[in-house]
Structure 1
């Protein structure tokens, strides 16, 4: 089965034959080096659940790697109709292990494609990476693992610890429900066309239960208020939520003069429980 995939034409030839010039409007930066795509696939192992879901496969570089590294079944969601012919050739070589879904990942319910649990592995388009991840975090109990290549700045925000300049709303949302880990960087020259920034492979592994008890909507409301004015003391940043913010913070055991980036996720949860 791998032999049929190995015998496919090189990706650069596929791109030229199908005239697949990357489109900036779709956030496309193709990763063609099979050594790198196989490194990503191996980092995502072991394979868990009925299928691996890939977002934005483009000409199929990472898709090939997932299949070559033994992913039992890959579901590839691609909105660019130009890429579907190239991906169909790969699907034929994969002999039933690759299912193509034409459509926008932002509007696709994975549950309609395959039952949970899901494993995501993808080189995410920069322009939709954060909203996609935030959407997945809201139903993280349906996932086994999320391994995605994103802009390094986004990876740093996902994995940031309290007290760092990257720590913010995305850090709290991700780490409340997942263990976030940055795996390795890939420089701009590896992509076609080269982006202006470095990319980082990041892993989100769902926790068995959240770090602390909190209602998701209330936690989001607290972190939004706190980080929207991150340079201000919490007593001022949380005034729109609580006119008596000093008393609420004190009740939660938090010094009102602290700033948002110093709070642990557990402390944010304590404030969410007071809403």
Structure 2
């Protein structure tokens, strides 16, 4: 088990990383700005720090410099959405362990942390220390989108396909059950409010047919009884509509990890 500090102003991402890393047995603390992160680092002395570069008060490089003054040998992994060769080189000159972009899957991030624990002495500028943009598990994952709104199906299909997933879609409950039984997708993104057979009925039929993949509910329904029933049937997450694509992508990443089979 390692003590890990996550410094990022995106609270949703911090919460997701905290839950994922804790599920892997790590002790995880979070900070939402640079000064809070430095103070937490000084107090906690984590084994690893996951650090964003774009913070609201002081930028990630200033945080990294202060961390280096406190502990020159501490492992720091940059996790950022503003990756350039120049920024990466600047970070490596300050002795980071790895430089990752936020568009990577959580599988890759967890793998980077695990590798860093196994190889703590790897220099930051060595070829083995650079992950770059590795092959993720996305290419092996199939996702079934079930929604009666054609625009939603098409948007999610295009977006997730560009992310590297194999995407299937169904416009109603009966089609979803048939497709899921035949294709056995790793994850189903399921709407609740559909004509004829609602999402809960679809999920009930799938469980009766021993479908053991993950299910993430994406819906505008606020009926607590229906949502609780979906959870009781093994839904991993419920994401409310409307939701931006990045929020949906993060929820899918987490759902795939939690539903591994």
Q: TM-score, normalised by structure 1?
A: 0.29
Q: TM-score, normalised by structure 2?
A: 0.30
Q: Choose between structure 1 and 2 for higher RCO, CA contacts under 8 A separated by at least 6 residues.
A: 1
